[in-house]
Amino acid sequence: MQKIGLLIIPLLLSGVSLVFAEEYYYIPDHKLETPPVFCAMEFEDTQLPKAQAQLIEITKNAILDWETKLAEATNNPEGWDFQFRTISIQEQQELFFDVDCDVNVYFERQPPAGELDYAGYADSYLTFSEIHIFYLEPIYGYNGKIVEINGELWEEAEITGFKNILTHGLHDTIRHEIGHSLGLDHPRFESYQFVKESSTVLLSPSIMLDENEYEITGDINYQITDYDVRSVVNLYGEDGINEINFMGNFGIVIVTVFLIILMIAINRKFRRKEP
């Protein structure tokens, strides 16, 4: 029993939620060290001259949405003090336009040929991310293939081209990719965890879901959910994305070592009294 007691202390300090742990999904080898600076890359689109201003505004609002929800959940605005700036085309052409950017956001009219089935992606590694957003509205056509979804037969649709307008759902796409830049990966939920808002619309339990992994008919309403916020807070802590987390973890280590030494001393004292 004396040896078991030494193992209990670190487990208690690691959190009482071990029994009731919620599963989170993170990108391997990627975690921010400080509140990020998001840099939106300016671009020129002669066919859609207003696209730049609209996309930059959407991106700024998406960043603010994440920042506000995290600050409210932890009551700690300083720990989630995200910065936003734009990088001009001229700056982008310089060899080192800005070493202070933690997340670069690029906007492109459409995905590369042969890869038309996504509206954006994020490359995240160590403390840096690149987000690419494809902003044109796709045109869908039917290819004659029949697929079965939830016991019903549907004709499969595919992207055959793009309209010269901004695509629907860019707000959700950008929020999703920002989640990746914060370290979140695609979670996996059961179908019953989707909340039914109407006969044709489901509310997603996470903005980070990959819709292609589910066989769902109808539309999905994506928002930054409480689960998404808990995922980020679980990754960085209540103090937010800053150096305080290191000191907090260091403090836990010190307390754990102290209690272990204390327990060893107590055990030795009682052992000396045994006949």
Measure the CA–CA gap between 81 and 242, rounded to whole angstroms: 10
Measure the CA–CA gap between 31 and 228, rounded to whole angstroms: 16
Query: Residue 111 sits in a domain of what CATH number?
Result: 3.40.390.10
Q: What is the pLDDT of residues 67-122, one digit of tens each?
A: 999 999 999 999 999 999 999 999 888 876 656 899 999 999 999 887 767 889 99
Q: Which segment of 5-19, 47-61, 128-142, 171-185 scores lowest on mean pLDDT?
A: 5-19
Domain that holds residue 247: 2-273
Number of domains in the chain: 1
CB 185 within 8 A of CB 24: no
Angle at 118 between CA 147 and CA 48, to 5 degrees: 125
Q: Does the CA dihedral 135-140-145-146 come out positive or negative?
A: positive
Nearest to 51 by CA among 174, 136, 172, 150: 136
Total-model pTM: 0.76
User: What is the token pair recorded at 247?
Assistant: 């000191």
Measure the CA–CA gap between 253 and 240, rounded to whole angstroms: 19
Backbone torsions φ then ψ of 184, nearest 5 degrees: -85, 140
Q: What is the pLDDT of residues 198-209, one digit of tens each?
A: 888 888 999 999
